[in-house]
Amino acid sequence: MSKFTRRHFLGSMGALSAAGSVPGVLAATPGASGAMTEEITGIEKEATGFANPLRLPGSSGLFGVLPVSEFREVHVVRSEIEVLPGRRTPILAYAVESGGKKFLNPALLARRGDEMRVRLINRIDQPTVIHWHGLSVDSRNDGNGLTVVPPGRSMDYAFTLRDRSSMYWYHPHAHGYIPQQAYHGLASLLFVEDDDELALRKELDLALGDTEIPLVLQDREFDAQGRLRYAPTAAQSFGGWVGDRLLVNLTERPFIQAGRRIIRFRILNGSNARSYRLAFVQGGRRLGFFLTGTDGGLLAQPLRIDQTFISPGQRLDVLVDLREADPGMPVTLASLSFDPMHAEGGHDMGHASPAAPPMAGMDHGQRGATPAAELSTPMAMEGDARALMRIDLKPSAKYERRMPTVLSSLSAATAPANPPRRMQLGHNGKGNWTINGGVFDPKVAALSVQRGARETWLIENAERSMPHPMHLHGFSFRVIERLGSPTLVRELAGARGLLPQDQGVLDTVHVWPGESVRVAIDFAHPHAGDQDYVYHCHTLEHAEAGMMLRYTVKA
């Protein structure tokens, strides 16, 4: 299939399947409903072959659960794990020893109010630094890359975990090395717990690693020896690197077993550049489930949905009541098809001749025969319909808990009346992504805000562009309004154009081409002196290609 036909086809599929999600529209367009059923059936068929048990956080080893009070050193090391069965994959990892046990990329556990006291020791040959994604800490402890740790050196972190309960995460943030280091394995989870969190676990009888399962969604490309391949062309360094294999918790083609009960998934999109359109499917249809939390913790109430986007850097907390499912067949976690809006054929991208479509290099799945193609799994382009994980239903003890009606005391978002600060997302035609026309300069604070100020930011993405998951360091924010959303977003949106996940506390908001998203940010913090942070796109290659700015919070 030619590139043009392929893209054209995907675009039509996106429109059709999105239409299928709207009650009423579904009945009026039997073609759409039929296409969706067919797509879901295909996904379920793909999942029947999934045979690798999902890696779960245990008491040691990869993703082992470790309280923050029980270690004082994190070593950044080169290591090796088995990702593809029978092959050793060299990776970069956070290595920790505690109580005689070894951990790689531990899933950290903290109670709100706990202290983090940890020394980062850099044992690789590149500068690195840990960024605690989503936590509100002072500039130095944020690990935003304005200071980095050279090879052989160390850095001490000391801060209080003041944030709401949620699943945060940690990853490298040394500018110039971020996409490569994250891709090669440097990333893991940080759970902060508070009273709301403990109440929810108690009410639903949830246990981390058993009935509450973290899912880290990543895409990777491997060579024939099982080594990770990261070799972006100039166009991919601009557009983003998308791997052809989908991994969950570094497991390819995974499955789990679950009883007929409420099960909780804490989902992180840890991919460099790929977004997912998540749904739980069974028997050719989407199952309803509940969105219970976002980046910055629990919503006020569970929201019933049947699909959601998740962009790089974002987290979602969801509850699935498997008693609603047919016990006779598995449930599949899927990424449904969508148009990734990579502005194919856009003629104002500026850096390519009309003969060569400027965004052609972003069509990641079209790289042709790669060594990975020999490994027998079909390649996954962004926006392709794909199975992520199969959930086999097993007989279980009777479970009579009900979905809670209240999760937290989170109040509705309000916007200050002052005029918004505009953040215009674009590109300069020279291979750089820009914010307000500027390319990242770590030495210059592109803007400053006053400590304690309540601001509205209007994030405006260009029409001919790519989606940008915009991540703010230092502060979380609330979404007030979406304007100019593309059809695939509008069809999932409610009042003021807001998506279900926009009801929560966010640190990363996905801004689609042509959209203007209004967010409210409270710049109050308890730290003395001026604080410097960064604001950037979490498509890691976009940030490296300039889509980041330094800002100062004036004391």
Which residues of this chain interact with Cu ion, rule CB under 5 A? Answer: 468, 537, 539, 542
From the list 8, 424, 80, 58, the residue with the least C-alpha distance to 214 is 58
Supply the minimum distance, in Å, between the C-beta of residue 342 and Cu ion. 11
Dihedral (CA of 218, 221, 223, 229) sign:
negative
Pairing of strands 531-537, 468-472: antiparallel
Q: Is the dihedral of CA 36, 39, 44, 50 positive or negative?
A: negative
Q: How far is the CB of 284 from Cu ion (least distance, A)?
A: 34
Q: How far is the CB of 462 from Cu ion (least distance, A)?
A: 11
H-only helix segments in 434-514 = 487-490
Please report how close the Cβ of residue 459 comes to Cu ion at its closest, in angstroms.
11
Closer to Cu ion by Cβ: residue 468 or 482: 468
Contacts of 189 (CB under 8 A, 6+ apart): 57, 63, 107, 108, 167, 168, 169, 170, 214, 216, 266, 268
User: How do beta strands 548-554 and 445-450 pair?
Assistant: parallel
**Min. distance of Cβ 468 from Cu ion in angstroms?**
3
| Interatomic CA distance for residues 517 and 489, integer angstroms | 12
**The pair of three-digit structure tokens given for residue 552, joined into one six-digit string:** 């100062």
Least distance between Cu ion and beta carbon 511 (Å): 9
d(CA 353, CA 360) in angstroms, rounded, equals 11
What is the C-alpha to C-alpha distance for residues 433 and 60, in angstroms, rounded to an integer? 41
Both tokens of 183, joined, read 């891709």
Count Cβ atoms below 10 Å from residue 147 Cβ, excluding itself. 15
Non-local CB neighbours of 282 within 8 Å, separated by 6+ positions: 44, 325, 326, 329, 330, 331, 332
Rounded to the nearest whole angstrom, what is the least distance from the CB of residue 319 to Cu ion in the complex? 30
The least CB distance from residue 139 to Cu ion, in Å, is 23
